Structure 1
Amino acid sequence: MSVPFSTYQPAPTHLTVDRHGLLIVAGAASLSLFATLFLLLYVTVLSIVSKQKPGCTWASARLVFMQTSFGPIFLNLVFADMLLAIGLMHNFINFNERGAVTASITCTSQGVLIQLADVASALLNLLIAIETFIILSNGPMLSWYTQFSTVGIWMLSCCFAVLGFLSFSSLELHSFYNWNGAWCWISPDYLTYQITFHNVWIWLAATGLIALYGTLFSRIRTHYKGEGHILRRSSIVLPPSSPSTISSLSGSQSNTSKASKRQRVGSKGLRVVARTMLVYPISFVAYSIPLTVISLIENYRRSTLSPVVALVLSTLFALRGAIDVLAFGMTRNVFILRTPAAPAYDEEQLTPTSPHSIRNQGRFPWILTNLKI
């Protein structure tokens, strides 16, 4: 016999409601929602300005990354983070109702949004890492691969979000999505489904990010050290050389001096790119893995390890939208703080002057665009 959502109240567990914690998590989610909406509006405005004024380099330079094969994946990532922020902002409703309303429509919708968006965001992060690794490993650019992979990620995430709800919501136990500490999510009574529908994919994404970006970090700093021109196919923006370096190199026109110029510019740029490779896995692991591990332990032991630590990790998790926007926006030149001057003396030009000029530069067009710190 099933129990109606409106009348069933489960027995109290260790997952008690901290009303102040609800506001903190919801406030952090509001910042993520603002960041994701700002980025989408920002890109829209840049696109309009770029089309109306084709000669406006201010707008076109910031759109180069968005016009690569990474652009659609990144926009899907931002959309997933936006859904996650909306789901976490349900805590405002829980606060007004003096606690979570278990087995309710509000709780269920929050659980579905968090489950859907968290898995999708993690796998989209992994997809960006895979494509980055392929391109910088001299592999081919497969636009169809990224398109089908993106669609597949959303389909898989939707299945994980609704299958459990449709299968278990009518049992005598409380709803599949129920209060889980700081928000509504898969009930602790379904620990196996927490692992198979969610945790495994988060751990898979984290492992992939660490392995792929760690390999690129090591390879860039060692195997490709001093060979900045090898990144030409990826159109990576490198820091400008100092005036003294430029003046000292521009005097000689011999092949040896030109090779030296390329090496000195490339070596500095590769160090920048290598450091950038660590930004993405560090940020993802920071806002995902500790919370996942602690939640799993608490649900298994039915006891709270540390309410303060749980609140801090939950707040960091709620900020993931803002973190992703800043991480990619700053390192991929979506938000340009300074634009390195292109060295006019180097025929191995690393920075395209416009998105249109890149299309004719060979097999590997503007892929890992405008990486900088």
Structure 2
Amino acid sequence: MASNDGTPSKYFEPPNSLLHMEDRTYNGLLAIGTLATISLIFTSSLLSFVTWRMITWKSHYTSAVGRNQSVVLIYQLVLADFLQSLGFLISFHWVAERQIIGPNGACFAQGWLIQLGDVASAFFVLAIAIHTTYQVIISRSLSYRTFLYCVLGIWGLAVLLTSLAPIIGGRFVFQRAGVWCWISSDNEGLRLSLHYIWIFIVEFGSILVYATGFYYLFRVKRSDKIIVPARSAETMRKARTAMLAYAMVYTILSLPLAAGRMASMSNNQLSDEYYLFAGALFTCSGWVDTVLYTFTRRALLFDELNVYGRRTGAHVESGNHNKEPGFQRQSSTDSILANNGFGSIGGIKMERTVKVELDDFDSSASNGGRVTREYYATAEAFKP
């Protein structure tokens, strides 16, 4: 940190600093900052909306939204995207300065936020995959307390991996790394152990987990079969596809950047244009996940199909909700399930517990006439 004449300098010399920014780098960082702003607006809007619904759930639902495990997991993913967007938003600072220098507060903040956002979003993508496949195969959900411990554990691990960078590498560990600040090239071991290895575990692990779930559903021969209406099967297929989409989106958006970093560790230096493109692509994670949630929100609530073996539901007749003995409307997604077509005529036979909508006739009615009813219930399969 000294100039050629021995005078102390306020920044590290190149390549740990970029003193003269070319126009192509300037334009690329401007694009990254713009995409980060879009992601920041989208993610903050979604977080605000879901938080408000969690607080005022009694005005909109019959059970707390905060107890819906799928919604909570996606909420955490979007929160991680929000932190990552904050990190890339600092690109505007380098654009204004026409240089990337460190160590300073801006460089440290960008490195910290990008590292934390990257690993946290990766972990929650994998958590969504495991959670979905667990419900498909085991037909059960975690207890809410266990689920919360898992969420806190994921954040704890993400914060730990981020904190270990300055603890092990020193307070100047976050320096110029290409076209933004991150763990410096002098600490390749930290890059690998605190970031790269986890990203690749998530990218390939998520695909493997989902493949296991799909194999179980469509390939494994079983003595009992689930008999459900075609519309119900289509709805569940959409739910599984929606959850798979998060892993696919994360892999597509993060793989170019991760591959470029791994190439640099093999002494294959890629151009700044490549990293600008890969960074811009990765910065899109926030707004893409938000849009994905908006379009798949109903299908994502699939995991609140009752999997605890309780018979619960609501009886709807002539537009009025009347509770029947043994039936209670407890899900915040009942109306969503109804709109998505969980319905059939007559009875159903299932091998595991699901929540369905039934159209039936009232054999005990005084006039013996047929009436149309809607049930939100769960039923266990049985062998005749």
Per the TM superposition, whether the score is higher than 0.5 is yes
Which one has the bigger strand percentage?
Answer: 2
2:250 maps to which of 269, 280, 284: 284
Q: Which residue of 1 aligns with 2:119?
A: 119
Q: Which residue of 1 aligns with 2:184?
A: 187
Q: Which residue of 2 aligns with 1:210?
A: 207
Unaligned segments of structure 1, at least 5 residues: 53-58, 231-258, 364-373
Aligned residue runs from structure 1 range 126-275, under 5 A: 126-143=126-143, 144-169=145-170, 175-223=172-220, 230=226, 262-273=228-239, 275=241
- Does the residue aligned with 1:141 lie in a helix, a strand or coil? coil
- Does the residue aligned with 1:122 lie in a helix, a strand or coil? helix
Q: Does residue 1:332 correspond to 2:293, yes or no? A: no
Q: Which residue of 1 aligns with 2:279?
A: 314
- Does the residue aligned with 2:345 lie in a helix, a strand or coil? coil
1:328–1:64 CA distance, 2 compared to 1 (3 A):
farther
1:166–1:2 CA distance, 2 compared to 1 (3 A):
farther
- Does the residue aligned with 1:178 lie in a helix, a strand or coil? strand
Q: Is the 8 A contact 1:217 1:278 kept in 2?
A: no
1:2–1:164 CA distance, 2 compared to 1 (3 A):
farther
Q: Is the 8 A contact 1:85 1:321 kept in 2?
A: yes
TM-score by length of 1: 0.72
Deviations 1:298-349 (A, max 9, x none): 2542622x4443322211100111122223342232798x943453635558
Identity %, equivalent residues: 26
TM-score by length of 2: 0.70
Q: Which residue of 1 aligns with 2:84?
A: 84
Unaligned segments of structure 2, at least 5 residues: 302-335, 349-353, 359-374
Question: Which residue identity is paired with 2:125?
Answer: N
- Relative contact order, higher structure (CA 8 A, sep 6+): 1
Shift of 1:39: 0.8
2:40 maps to which of 33, 41, 49: 33
Shift of 1:277: 4.9
Measured in 2, the distance between the counterparts of 1:71 and 1:105 equals 35
Which one has the bigger helix percentage?
Answer: 1
- Does the residue aligned with 1:301 lie in a helix, a strand or coil? coil
Q: Which residue of 2 aligns with 1:97?
A: 97
Measured in 2, the distance between the counterparts of 1:22 and 1:74 equals 28
Measured in 2, the distance between the counterparts of 1:330 and 1:5 equals 55
Deviations 1:169-228 (A, max 9, x none): 36xxxx210111231100011111100000111111112210111222333344489x9x
Q: Is the 8 A contact 2:231 2:343 kept in 1?
A: no
Shift of 1:280: 2.4
Shift of 1:287: 1.2
- Does the residue aligned with 2:175 lie in a helix, a strand or coil? strand
Q: Which residue of 2 aligns with 1:43?
A: 50
1:275–1:64 CA distance, 2 compared to 1 (3 A):
farther
1:279–1:91 CA distance, 2 compared to 1 (3 A):
same
Deviations 1:223-281 (A, max 9, x none): 489x9x95xxxxxxxxxxxxxxxxxxxxxxxxxxxx5xx34334434543454354122
1:122–1:178 CA distance, 2 compared to 1 (3 A):
same
Question: Which residue identity is paired with 1:70?
Answer: S
Q: Is the 8 A contact 1:221 1:271 kept in 2?
A: no
Q: How many residues align?
A: 314
Moved more, 128-137 or 291-300: 291-300
Question: Which residue identity is paired with 1:76?
Answer: Q
Measured in 2, the distance between the counterparts of 1:224 and 1:316 equals 41
Deviations 1:42-84 (A, max 9, x none): 22444466423xxxxxx439x9875412232222222111111
Q: Which has the larger radius of gyration?
A: 2
Q: Which residue of 2 aligns with 1:298?
A: 264
Q: Is the 8 A contact 2:16 2:101 kept in 1?
A: no
Deviations 1:124-146 (A, max 9, x none): 11112111111111254223332
